[in-house]
Chains A and B, each alone.
Chain A
Amino acid sequence: MNYLNNYSNRELNIWAELILNVVVSFYFIPKIFPLIINGQLYGEALIDIIATSIIISIIYSVSVFGSINIFIKKEDKDERDYTFELKSYRMSNIISQVSIYLLIGLIIFYPINRVRLTELMSPPMIAMLLFIIALFSSTVKSVNQLYYYRKNT
């Protein structure tokens, strides 16, 4: 417990966010791929998985973020926090944009066995891909932020 004193409230919150992303990814991704059959994703099962992911996130957030803010003194953000946050969000934003443009390009232009993906991409499939992009860019943001905090401490 003593080593936690080396981390500020903000850093611990970022660690907690990163762990949440990893937990949701480990829960979500292995369950989602078996649902893809012949390029189609079965939407009803997806709803259960997304609902469970949201419930896990809420329980985790209330317990972990709550504990951090109770036990470790919260400090107001200063210019250094804002600088690191902006740099990290910039990186995360670039990743989401590039991924979304790639996804759009893939859907529109890339034919598989002469069948355009437009015909294979059902709305649940697109929702799943967007969810994975969001999860990935959020993870990159947290890792980047932690890197800046550790590098400059």
Chain B
Amino acid sequence: MKKHKIKNQIRRLRFEANEMTQAELAEKASVTRQTIIALEAQKYSPSLELAFRIAKVFDVPLEAAFQYN
């Protein structure tokens, strides 16, 4: 199975943001809930634009939300 090298802290950031639901994050980042599920399971690497959008939702720098291993 292909290992995704981009790791993310989305689940932790959601809980720190007043336990934001996956659906709420999906709506704010303009993606489907399935994409958020796949991202949290580290099974999908987002585009640069989506990564920036998600970081902006949590108001954190990109590298706080996504790390490249």
Residues of chain A at the chain B interface (Cβ within 8 Å)? 8, 10, 75-81, 149, 151-153
Contact = CB atoms under 8 A, between A and B. Distances in A.
A81 B41 CA distance: 17
Nearest to A9: B32
B32 A152 contact: no
B32 A80 contact: yes
B36 to A, nearest CB: 10
Closest 10 CB pairs of A and B: A78-B31, A80-B35, A152-B43, A75-B32, A152-B38, A8-B34, A152-B44, A78-B32, A79-B47, A78-B35
Interface string B43-68: 11011011000000000000000000
Nearest to B30: A78
Nearest to B46: A79
Interface of B: 30-35, 37-38, 41, 43-44, 46-47, 49-50
Nearest to B38: A152
A44 B59 CA distance: 67
A16 B38 CA distance: 23
A10 B31 CA distance: 13
B34 A153 contact: yes
Contact of B38 (A10, A75, A76, A153): A153
A151 B37 CA distance: 12
A81 B31 CA distance: 10
Given A79-B50, A80-B38, A153 B32 contact: no
B52 to A, nearest CB: 13
